Amino acid sequence: MSKTMISTKRLSKSYGKSGQVIALDKLTLDVYEGETFGLLGPNGAGKTTTVRLLNCIVKPTGGSATVGGYDLIENSIEIKRMTGLLAESPGLYEKLSAQEFLEFMGALYDVPSDILSVRVDKLLKLFGLHGRRNHLLEGYSRGMKQKVLIAAALIHDPPLLFFDEPTSTLDPSAALMVRDLMKDLSENVGKTIVVCSHILPIVEELCDRIGIINRGELVAVGTVDELMERTGKDTLEKAYIDITGGVQQKELLSWRELRSA
Amino acid sequence: MRRLKWLVLAKNGYLLRTSSFGRMRYAVPFLIGVPIVVAVFVIIPWIADFFLDELEVFFLSSAAVTFIQIILFTIFILFLTFPISFSLNSGQEEHYEVLLSAPLKPKDVILGKFVGDMPFYSVAVVVASSLFVALLLPLGLGLVQAVMIMGIFLLTFFSALWIGVLLAAMIRSKIGSSARGKDLGKALSMTVALPMVGLMYAIMSGMVYSALLDSGSKGPLAFALDLLPSSWGADVIVSFALNPGGASGMSVEEPLRFVAMIIFFVGALWVGTKLADRAYSLESQSLSSNLARPEGQFYRTVRTVSGGGSFGSLVVSVFKDYGRRLENISKVVYIIGLMLLVTFFFGGAEDVGGGFIMLFFLLPFLSGFIVGEVTVRGKENLFIYRKAPRGEARLVRARIVQSMIVMIPLTVIASAISLTTVPGLGTGPALVMVLYMIALSASLIVFSLGLFLMFPVFSEKPADMMGNVIILSVFMMGCFFAAVLLSVYGEIAGWLLILTLTTVSGTIALFLGVRNLKTLE
Ligand SMILES: Nc1ncnc2c1ncn2[C@@H]1O[C@H](COP(=O)(O)OP(=O)(O)OP(=O)(O)O)[C@@H](O)[C@H]1O
Ligand SMILES: [Mg+2]
């Protein structure tokens, strides 16, 4: 077994004054170097919270963790340097052009300027944005912004990458491109990748292992095959639904019952 | 049954405005109303009674009409500009899409906004008008007369608000069609208020007042005022004050003028709704895409000044995002405009320029407006920095450098201009004063950044920004009073005290602010 890249012990996070909202509850998990790890779970399960914790954006309220051998609290600067993050609802500077924004991000991560300009150019070409690189981001569509943000996450070429719903706003071919990009990053240059997604086929294809979070708790970890075996289902989708509590039988159309004449 | 759409929207508007009152929001009008009634009928008449003679003399003088004209005119302009300013500035884009997809007419949206805003603003008008009525009651004002005076104030306000809402909607739909247009709107919203403030200064310094009085035959200003419905009411109020006492004290003229005001309002309302459906379109707007201008000499200089390297790039990026927002420019223009007005109206005084002193109280506004931008792009934007190694420290440093590059030249220009109004000031002392102002504005930048990080503002509304700016201004006033007390040991001691207090408190504020920035989630 290869080295562990991420290791968490009873890592917890609650929000609110007296911690009413428990976003993540005692997560204990190892992610290994070079592996692509998928985080699944229903809306509000705690995936984004986990990613934010591991990128030192929010502080844990309990437990401990190491990322790349660095302690989450003691060595946050080293961790930030070695991780790249595509956030779920990221901020960007609308009044900068794509090129200017990527140069800004490069400066934030101290990428030497000669490397930076070449890299920005190549990334913009890769995402098909080179032709509009001088347009302000305020005029970009959501998917185009997403592409810029993915490029921004890669700008310092970090060994560990987090993608929080990378393809949710992309068109089908761009989504496939990003999927292949993640695959390349993992297979050819040995990056460790953590990806949160609701799009199961992509997760199934990319991820070596999958963790399923439900209401802040890690309820299952394993390869796709292990998860299907454990639940006795024949697809990942069925296994996922089984693990996260199944589809409740609800009267889906009951809201129509009182109709005006 | 079909609901009245504008009523639905109006209720929504009311709820939005009163959201901070929580479940009390429906009781708000009563909570405010009861004390007003008590004040109007008990407290103020009792006080006014003591000044009865002076009041009578005042209303007999020809100044009274002008005075009341100006008050009503101020209300008129104020409520004309408020909605324009608010609506141009508001980031209601999200609500907007929701409205677009609902079956609505433009008329409903505008009328809804007007009616929804009405209770909110009425409070201010009712307070103002009842103060007035209360003052007049001891003169023996009749009930009908009192009610009519209140009516005049409300009509003035309704007309102004309606025209304001209408204009705002039209301007918005005309210029809101591009990202640039939205910027323009925000920029306008600040500067729209400038003539208003100018007017207030003019009134304070008595210029308009005397201009109106001097012209026994009416000057152009008085004539212009006469055309506005606000002035029609002023005559009514004065003649009531002169002939108090029920309906008997009324000639035909007063009810006639009152009716004219009603007709004006109803007419405006009618024309407005007709116009709204035609001139204002709810249509979704195309977003034109703007090119980033290539980096010119200015940004190259900024890069060099801030030390080049990755920190230089950071400052340049922050600066570009700041400078490309017209609203930022307009805020600065606004304050500079104020500074010039102040110099104009208060300057040229006998002692060390009143204008220069006023500069003290404007600098906090300038620094607050420049720095306040730091958090308005929201938490997600701050998380970009949080994610980067030592990102928060870089953000703070980049912002300080960027703000100083904006603030210091402006301070130099403003203080230089206002110092020219001080008679007989040598070059040496003037230079020292300018240097002093540079040091002061630098420490104010640090102070405001600290404040805005301690109490971050996540919206672009000027009203939200004001909180921190007010803290800063109050602080400056405190410093100033302390300095005046200390000036028994010489004037210089006072000046130095101000600078020391600002620098020390600024450093503490920045320390606390950065700590807050690091824990924000
Ligand atoms: N800043 C915050 N303040 C308070 N509560 C928060 C905050 N961020 C997240 N939460 C809460 O934490 C819980 C987990 O949220 P999280 O964003 O991690 O979910 P998620 O798994 O990413 O969901 P989704 O699939 O919708 O993205 C939710 O209950 C959410 O309400
Ligand atoms: Mg999420």
Give the CA count within 13 Å in the CB-facing half-sphere of A76.
Answer: 19
Hey, which residues 124-183 in chain A have their CB within 8 Å of chain B? 132, 134-136, 138-140
**For residue B22, with 0-12 CB atoms within 10 Å meaning exposed, 13-18 middle and 19 or more buried, which class applies?**
exposed
The answer to whether position B157 is within a domain reads yes
Decide yes or no: CATH 3.40.50.1860 for domain A4-90+158-257. no
Indicate the residue among B262, B279, B296 that finishes a domain.
Answer: B279
Asked if A104 is an interface residue toward chain B (Cβ–Cβ < 8 A), one would say yes
**B137 plus B265 within the same structural domain:** yes
Which residues are CB-neighbours of B100 under 8 A, at least 6 positions away? Answer: B282, B283, B284
Amino acid at A138: E
Q: From the candidates A97, A108, A120, which should be mutated to test the interface with B, based on the most B CB atoms within 10 A?
A: A108
Indicate the residue among B223, B255, B279 that finishes a domain.
Answer: B279
Q: A51 pLDDT exceeds 90?
A: yes
The answer to whether position B309 is within a domain reads no
Query: What is the CA angle B115-B120-B125, rounded to 5?
Result: 100
Asked if A92 is an interface residue toward chain B (Cβ–Cβ < 8 A), one would say yes
Task: Find, in chain B, the residue whose alpha carbon is nearest to that of A149.
Answer: B384
Burial annotation B284-294 (CB, 10 A radius, 16+ → b, else e): ebebeebebee
Q: A138 pLDDT exceeds 70?
A: yes
Nearest Cα neighbor of B152 from B34, B257, B244, B56 is B257
> Rounded distance, CA B510 to CA B512, Å?
5
> Rounded distance, CA B351 to CA B354, Å?
7
**Tens-digit pLDDT profile for residues A7-25:** 999 999 998 777 788 999 9
**Tens-digit pLDDT profile for residues A191-246:** 999 999 998 888 988 999 999 999 898 988 999 888 888 888 888 888 888 888 76
Q: What is the 3-state secondary structure (H, E, C) of B166-182?
A: HHHHHHHHHHCCCHHHH
Q: A156 pLDDT exceeds 70?
A: yes
Which residues are CB-neighbours of A39 under 8 A, at least 6 positions away? Answer: A47, A50, A51, A194, A195, A196, A210, A211, A213
User: Which DSSP helix (H) or strand (E) runs through B291?
Assistant: none
Domain boundaries, chain A: 4-90+158-257
Domain that holds residue B169: 5-279
**B121 plus B269 within the same structural domain:** yes
**DSSP string covering B237-248:** HHHHHHS-STGG
The answer to whether position B435 is within a domain reads yes
Q: A129 pLDDT exceeds 60?
A: yes
Residue A43 CB–ligand 1 contact under 6 Å? yes
**How many beta-carbon pairs under 8 angstroms link A with B?**
109
Q: From the candidates A24, A77, A138, which should be mutated to test the interface with B, based on the most B CB atoms within 10 A?
A: A138
Q: A26 pLDDT exceeds 60?
A: yes
Q: Return the structure tokens found at A205.
A: 């294809």
A chain contacts of residue B386, beta-carbon cutoff 8 Å: 56-57
CA distance, residue B403 to nearest chain A CA (Å)? 17
> Rounded distance, CA A153 to CA A162, Å?
8
**B45 plus B153 within the same structural domain:** yes
Contact state of A91 with B394 under an 8 Å Cβ cutoff: no
Give the model's pLDDT for residue B506: 95
CB-CB contact of A236 with A224 (8 Å) = yes
CA distance, residue B490 to nearest chain A CA (Å)? 49
Cα of A24 from ligand 1 centre, angstroms: 9
Strand partners, A67: A6, A70
CB-CB contact of B117 with B213 (8 Å) = no
**B130 plus B223 within the same structural domain:** yes
The answer to whether position B112 is within a domain reads yes
Atom of ligand 1 nearest to the CA of A24: 14
Amino acid at B397: R
How far separated are the first and last CA of chain A, in Å rounded?
Answer: 68
CB-CB contact of B404 with B448 (8 Å) = no
Atom of ligand 1 nearest to the CA of B379: 1
The answer to whether position B385 is within a domain reads yes
Atom of ligand 1 nearest to the CA of A88: 27
The answer to whether position B170 is within a domain reads yes
The answer to whether position B315 is within a domain reads no
Give the model's pLDDT for residue B199: 66
**ipTM value for the complex:** 0.83
Nearest Cα neighbor of B83 from B112, B104, B107, B126 is B112
Give the model's pLDDT for residue B94: 43
Mean pLDDT, chain A, rounded, equals 88
Asked if B378 is an interface residue toward chain A (Cβ–Cβ < 8 A), one would say yes
Asked if B5 is an interface residue toward chain A (Cβ–Cβ < 8 A), one would say no
**B274 plus B333 within the same structural domain:** no
Residue A211 CB–ligand 1 contact under 6 Å? no
Amino acid at A93: Y
Give the model's pLDDT for residue B190: 65
Asked if B310 is an interface residue toward chain A (Cβ–Cβ < 8 A), one would say yes
Give the model's pLDDT for residue B189: 66
Q: Whose CA is nearest to atom 12 of ligand 1?
A: A23
| Strand ranges of the sheet holding A21-32, from the earlier edge strand across to the other edge | A21-32, A4-15, A62-67, A70-71
CB-CB contact of B373 with B190 (8 Å) = no
User: Which DSSP helix (H) or strand (E) runs through A26?
Assistant: strand A21-32
Is this structure's pTM higher than 0.90? no
Which residues are CB-neighbours of A227 under 8 A, at least 6 positions away? Answer: A210, A212, A220, A236, A239, A240, A243
**B420 plus B506 within the same structural domain:** yes
The answer to whether position B304 is within a domain reads no
Query: What is the CA angle B505-B362-B376, rounded to 5?
Result: 70
Task: List chain B pLDDT tens, one digit each, 521 residues.
Answer: 567 777 777 777 777 777 766 677 777 777 777 777 777 677 777 777 777 777 777 766 666 666 777 777 777 777 777 767 766 665 544 455 566 666 677 778 788 878 887 877 777 777 777 777 777 777 777 777 888 888 888 888 888 888 888 877 777 666 655 566 666 666 666 666 666 666 666 665 565 556 555 545 455 555 666 666 667 777 777 777 777 765 555 677 777 888 888 888 888 888 888 877 766 665 545 455 677 888 888 889 999 888 888 899 999 999 998 888 877 887 788 778 777 776 766 655 455 556 677 777 788 888 988 898 888 888 888 899 999 999 999 999 999 999 999 999 999 988 888 777 777 778 888 899 899 999 999 999 999 999 999 998 887 766 677 788 888 888 888 888 888 888 777 778 888 888 999 999 999 999 999 999 988 88
Q: Nearest by CB to A77, from B289, B310, B390: name it.
A: B390
Give the model's pLDDT for residue A105: 92
Number of domains in chain B: 2
Q: Return the structure tokens found at A141.
A: 């569509």
DSSP code, position B43? I
Give the model's pLDDT for residue B93: 47
Q: Nearest by CB to B313, from A91, A103, A135: name it.
A: A103
Residue A49 CB–ligand 1 contact under 6 Å? yes
